Structure formats: structure tokens, C-alpha cells
């Protein structure tokens, strides 16, 4: 190869490697750790700054909760959602079950604001546990990890059982926090074979915590199950984990 071609070729190779390095690093990192490994390193703590007012929904967004009612939500059995609505937020009512949207979504940009209980009663996974399930299948964990130790792949903003967040950007218990999630649904061929895994980019309180990571399959407790073919769109769901976690201002934009 002469010099005229070699220099651009080197630049192209470096650019190519740089573009794929973060994805590869995260996948390689995942394979080093058993699920819920207590020795997996915790990410550094960052202070995201104080909570602001609710982030307005763009004009093309579907507003799933505006603080007034649960008309866009049902239980897992399709019955009216039974969580409490007051003062512009909804709150998990223990034992009434997770709730899901009536509408179904695939690739999307999702904004969710939530707050863990201001009064701390337990530790680890017992502290303000809930979750945002894309397609009712892929969980971004909600937990109060402000000065609270748990396994890294189950902490706040973890893609549960797979990826800890890049940083711990938790605000104090009781303060409003935000997730901004870009989700690409997995693709399956007509026979149900996986063509492309699901991918997620997540911001927690404005801090990047997942940079276009590939999910290994559905999120689950103690196991990393393989993909199972599912429809192109499915409901979004919020978890009843028995703790009075609050939500406000939830909106979604299909991609
Ligand atoms: Mg959870």
C-alpha cells in the first residue's frame, strides 16, 4: 500500500475501532460476571444536581401520565389500574400488581420521572424497588441507591441482571429523578430466530448510564434467559415490587 492510501486507511481503522470499542467492552465486561455477582464493581457516584420541574412532553409524544389519571394504564389482567393518584403523581399500591399501557410500543424514546419513598425503611433491593419494563420484558431497574449497597447489576438504572449503570447518579430518597431511554426492540425472522438483539441508551438524571448496549435477552432474577420471539410492539409496564414508589410525567415517542 502506498502512502496516499495508507494514512486514510489507518484513520479509518482507528475510527472503526473507536466506534465499536464501547459496545465490545461492555459485552466483554458482562461475560466476566455471574448474574448478581456481589463482587462486581459498583460505578462511581456522581451528583446530578438538584431536581428540576417536570420536563415538558414534545408535541409528537404520547403522554402516558400527566398527573391526573390512570386512563392509559391497566393491570396485567387488563383491568383498570389500581395505583394511587394524588398531587400530580401516581404511587404503587402494594399487592395491586404491576401496571401496563393499553397502547403498545416498539422502538421508542421514553421519559419517566420517579421518586423512591422519602422515609427509608429497608436496605439493598428492599429500598424503593420498582422498574420500567420496555415491551413488558426488558427492565431498567428503579431502586434507591443513594448510599445503599446492592449488587451492581440490580442497582438504580441497571439493565437488570445484565449491565450496571456507568455512574450512580441517584438523588436523595424522596427527590424526583428522571430516566430518558432510547430503546430499539429486538428483531426476529418469521421463524422466530433472533436477527438483532434489543439495544438501549439510558440517561439517569441527565447522566449517560448506558451507551447503546446490546441486551442478552429478557431481564430476569438470577438468570439471563435467551430471547424468545415476540410481537413488534408490546405494552410498556411499571413494576409493583411492594414499595410505594411514585411516578409523574411519563411520555413516549415512537421511533
Ligand atoms: Mg425492579
What is 27-57 written as a DSSP string? HHHHHHS-TT-TTSPPPPB-------SPPPP
Taking residues 53-72, what's their average pLDDT?
A: 98
Residue 3: what pLDDT? 57
Taking residues 220-238, what's their average pLDDT?
A: 97
Domains, the chain, ordered by start: 33-254 (2.60.120.560)
CA of 229 to the centre of ligand 1 (A): 23
pLDDT for residue 143 is more than 60: yes
Q: Looking at the whole model, is its pTM more than 0.95? A: no
Q: How far is the C-alpha of 37 from the C-alpha of 246, rounded, in Å?
A: 29
Q: pLDDT grade, residue 190 (50/70/90)?
A: very high
pLDDT tens digit sequence for 73-130: 999 999 999 999 999 999 999 999 999 999 999 999 999 999 999 999 899 999 999 9
CA of 16 to the centre of ligand 1 (A): 36
Residue 28: what pLDDT? 84
Q: How far is the C-alpha of 200 from the C-alpha of 198, rounded, in Å?
A: 7
pLDDT for residue 18 is more than 70: no
CA of 213 to the centre of ligand 1 (A): 19
The mean pLDDT value of the chain amounts to 93
CA of 85 to the centre of ligand 1 (A): 21
CA of 152 to the centre of ligand 1 (A): 13
CA of 130 to the centre of ligand 1 (A): 4
Q: In the Cβ-directed half-sphere of 173, how many Cα atoms lie within 13 Å?
A: 19
In percent, the amount of the chain with pLDDT more than 70 equals 91
Q: pLDDT grade, residue 21 (50/70/90)?
A: low
In total, the chain counts a number of residues equal to 255
Q: pLDDT grade, residue 48 (50/70/90)?
A: very high
Q: How far is the C-alpha of 253 from the C-alpha of 249, rounded, in Å?
A: 13
pLDDT for residue 15 is more than 60: no
CA of 25 to the centre of ligand 1 (A): 25
CA of 31 to the centre of ligand 1 (A): 22
CA of 134 to the centre of ligand 1 (A): 12
CA of 178 to the centre of ligand 1 (A): 16
Q: Which residues pair with 138 in a beta bridge?
A: 134
CA of 158 to the centre of ligand 1 (A): 10
Q: Which residues pair with 104 in a beta bridge?
A: 235
Cα–Cα separations (whole angstroms), residue 233 to 104, 107, 123, 236, 255: 5, 8, 35, 9, 12
CA of 11 to the centre of ligand 1 (A): 43
Residue 24: what pLDDT? 60
Residue 244: what pLDDT? 98
Q: pLDDT grade, residue 25 (50/70/90)?
A: confident
CA of 238 to the centre of ligand 1 (A): 9
Q: How far is the C-alpha of 148 from the C-alpha of 244, rounded, in Å?
A: 17
Residue 24 vs residue 47, higher pLDDT: 47
151 closest CA partner among 31, 39, 14, 29: 39
The answer to whether 130 touches 142, Cβ cutoff 8 Å, is: yes
241 closest CA partner among 96, 61, 90: 96
Cell of 172: 436523595
Amino acid at each position: 500500500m502506498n502512502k496516499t492510501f495508507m494514512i486514510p486507511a489507518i484513520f479509518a481503522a482507528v475510527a472503526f475501532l473507536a466506534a465499536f470499542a464501547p459496545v465490545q467492552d461492555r459485552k466483554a465486561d458482562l461475560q466476566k460476571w455471574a448474574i448478581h455477582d456481589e463482587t462486581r464493581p459498583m460505578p462511581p457516584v456522581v451528583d446530578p444536581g438538584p431536581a428540576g420541574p417536570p420536563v415538558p412532553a414534545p408535541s409528537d409524544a404520547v403522554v402516558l401520565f400527566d398527573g391526573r389519571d390512570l386512563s392509559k394504564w391497566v393491570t396485567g389482567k387488563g383491568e383498570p389500574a389500581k395505583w394511587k393518584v394524588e398531587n400530580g403523581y401516581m404511587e404503587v399500591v402494594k399487592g395491586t400488581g404491576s401496571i401496563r399501557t393499553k397502547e403498545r410500543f416498539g422502538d421508542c424514546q421514553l421519559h419517566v420521572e420517579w421518586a423512591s419513598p422519602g422515609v427509608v425503611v429497608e436496605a439493598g433491593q428492599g429500598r424503593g424497588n420498582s422498574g420500567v419494563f420496555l415491551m413488558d420484558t426488558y427492565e431498567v431497574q428503579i431502586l434507591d441507591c443513594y448510599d445503599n449497597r446492592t449488587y451492581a447489576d440490580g442497582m438504580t438504572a441497571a439493565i437488570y441482571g445484565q449491565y450496571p449503570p456507568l455512574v450512580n447518579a441517584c438523588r436523595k430518597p424522596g427527590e424526583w429523578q428522571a430516566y430518558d431511554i432510547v430503546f430499539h426492540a429486538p428483531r426476529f425472522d418469521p421463524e422466530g430466530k433472533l436477527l438483532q438483539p434489543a439495544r438501549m441508551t439510558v440517561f439517569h438524571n441527565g447522566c449517560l448510564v448506558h451507551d447503546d448496549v446490546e441486551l442478552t435477552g429478557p431481564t430476569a432474577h438470577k438468570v439471563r434467559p435467551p430471547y424468545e420471539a415476540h410481537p413488534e410492539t408490546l405494552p410498556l409496564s411499571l413494576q409493583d415490587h411492594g414499595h410505594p414508589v411514585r411516578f409523574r410525567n411519563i411520555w413516549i415517542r415512537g421511533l
